[in-house]
């Protein structure tokens, strides 16, 4: 099965990104052909600083490799190394109703957060559809907030196939992780743009401070507490094993435990995941040639697939390539 997903390079990755997206991406490499890319074209909608964008792009690559992405099993590349996706995005935009994009909830959310309403932001789902369709992807693992975008990609594939009387574009299937929405320090969805994150690669002291800052209610230490409504427990459940979860659940319900203790336990299980990745990332940071090599090799493989699909697309649309036109 061909699996595809993308991650924007627009800030430090956090526990929500890891549990909602990266973890399953890395697990899927075992049994599938995976294409994962760093969505730097998409990031241009919010990051317009060349040096910063370059750095954030390499950071995402380092993060994935540090958490165990194996470049021999999965292809990790930069979106912009496959410029054909922008060509497909244009072609898809000609078969996509404006109304479909106007219904995109993430566009409305971003406008509400006062991100400039550029055409790039508005057409974001079309580029995302091109990312998915250009590799004839079977499955797209993403977090819940991206569901609508994947459904739109399937709609666009259907519209294209119908308009040109073909079956070239494959309708992708969505795959959601069980950790649908990881709460942030304030109980809202954990997100870079809400400033409520536990970052994956901050030093342990800072991670501890972030965890100690998770919002809890004011139930006194001696009283029983409800694990089901507690943000600390909600994140703990996603990191600890079943026995650990059962034990902490009992402590909550039994009373006599303060939230500080639950937070300390959360810190310890979080460090079990973050500690080794932090160490590995330190080693990779010192080997920039290796990281470049991983990205370039994977881009070559991805571009070969994209090139073949685009040849079919151009043909069926009547966009023949003239003599002397060089297409990489
Ligand atoms: P952010 O909201 O921090 O900007 P992105 O929108 O860049 O995060 O998300 C990157 C990936 O991580 C997406 O697949 C998204 O669904 C997933 N993701 C982000 N935040 C969370 C969260 N709090 N819970 C679950 N998944 C998340
Ligand atoms: N929009 C996705 C996000 O913010 C990133 C992305 C871009 C993506 N293109 C994609 C995800 C294609 C999956 C498939 O998380």
Per-residue model confidence (pLDDT) at position 114: 85
pLDDT at 139 over 80: yes
Q: Which atom of ligand 2 is nearest to the CA of 4?
A: 14
Buried b (16+ CB within 10 A) or exposed e, 106-130: ebeebeeeeeeeeeebbbbbbbbbb
Q: Cα separation of 174 and 141, whole Å?
A: 6
For ligand 2, the distance from its centroid to the CA atom of residue 5, given in whole angstroms, is 6
Identify which ligand lies nearest to the alpha carbon of 109.
Answer: 1
189 has catalytic annotation: yes
Q: To the nearest whole percent, how much of the chain has pLDDT over 70?
A: 97
- The residue with tokens 């001696």 is 222
Helix (H, G, I), strand (E, B) or coil at 27: helix
173 catalytic? Reply is no
Residue nearest to atom 22 of ligand 1 (CA): 16
Among 36, 38, 26, 45, smallest CA distance to 2 is for 36
Q: Which residues line ligand 1 at a C-beta cut-off of 6 Å?
A: 7-8, 16-17, 20-21, 142-143, 145-146, 179, 181-182, 189-193
Give mean pLDDT, residues 254-269.
Answer: 97
Q: CB under 6 Å to ligand 2: residues?
A: 4-8, 39, 42, 128, 131-132, 140, 142, 146, 149
SS3 content of the chain, % helix, strand, coil (to 5): 60, 10, 35
Q: Please give the C-alpha separations between residue 236 and each of 142, 277, 316, in angstroms, as whole numbers.
A: 21, 18, 51
Number of neighbours of residue 23 by Cβ within 10 angstroms: 18
pLDDT of residue 317: 97
Residue 194 has pLDDT above 90, yes or no: no
DSSP SS3 for 3 = strand
- Overall residue count recorded for the chain in this entry: 328
The structure tokens listed for 24 are 């399953």
Specify the pTM.
0.93
pLDDT digits (tens, 9 = 90+) for 49-92: 999 999 999 999 999 999 999 999 999 999 999 999 999 999 99
Q: Which of 106, 143, 177 is nearest to 13 (CA)?
A: 143
Mean pLDDT of 244-264: 97
Helix (H) or strand (E) holding 83: none
Q: Which of 23, 110, 225, 263 is catalytic?
A: 110
Token digits of residue 122: 């508005």
How far does the centroid of ligand 1 lie from the alpha carbon of residue 192, in Å?
8
Residue 146 burial (C-beta neighbours within 10 Å; 0-12, 13-18, 19+): buried
pLDDT above 90 for 325: no
Reading the block at residue 218, the tokens are 């004011």
Ligand 2 atom nearest to CA at 39: 7
Domains in the chain (CATH in brackets) are 2-182+288-317 (3.40.50.620), 201-283 (1.10.240.10)
Residue 51 a catalytic site member: no
The strand pair at 173-176 and 139-142 is best described as parallel
Task: Report which secondary-structure segment, H or E, holds 104.
Answer: none
């Amino acid at each position: 099965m061909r699996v595809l997903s993308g991650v924007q390079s627009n800030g430090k990755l956090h526990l929500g990104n890891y549990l909602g997206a990266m973890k399953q991406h890395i697990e899927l490499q075992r049994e599938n052909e995976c294409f994962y890319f760093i969505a730097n074209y998409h990031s241009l909608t919010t990051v317009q600083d060349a040096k910063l964008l370059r750095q954030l792009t390499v950071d995402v690559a380092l993060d994935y490799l540090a958490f165990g992405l194996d470049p021999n099993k999965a292809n990790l590349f930069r979106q912009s190394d496959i410029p054909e996706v922008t060509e497909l995005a244009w072609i898809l935009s000609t078969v996509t109703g404006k109304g479909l994009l106007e219904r995109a909830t993430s566009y409305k959310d971003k406008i509400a957060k006062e991100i400039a309403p550029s055409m790039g932001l508005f057409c974001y789902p079309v580029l995302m559809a091109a990312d998915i369709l250009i590799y004839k992807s079977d499955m797209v693992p993403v977090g819940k907030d991206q569901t609508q975008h994947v459904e739109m990609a399937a709609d666009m594939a259907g519209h294209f196939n119908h308009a040109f009387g073909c079956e070239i574009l494959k309708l992708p299937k969505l795959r959601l992780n069980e950790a649908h929405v990881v709460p942030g320090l304030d109980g809202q969805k954990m997100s870079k743009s809400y400033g409520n994150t536990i970052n994956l690669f901050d030093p342990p002291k800072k991670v501890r401070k972030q965890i100690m800052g998770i919002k809890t209610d004011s139930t006194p230490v001696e009283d029983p507490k409800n694990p089901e409504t507690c943000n600390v427990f909600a994140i703990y459940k996603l990191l600890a094993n079943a026995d650990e979860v059962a034990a902490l659940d009992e402590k909550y319900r039994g009373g006599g435990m303060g939230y500080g203790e639950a937070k300390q336990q959360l810190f310890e299980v979080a460090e079990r995941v973050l500690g080794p990745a932090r160490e590995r990332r330190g080693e990779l940071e010192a080997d920039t040639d290796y990281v470049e090599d991983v990205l370039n090799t994977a881009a070559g493989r991805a571009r070969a697939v994209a090139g073949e699909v685009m040849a079919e697309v151009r043909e069926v649309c009547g966009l023949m390539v003239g003599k002397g036109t060089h297409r990489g």
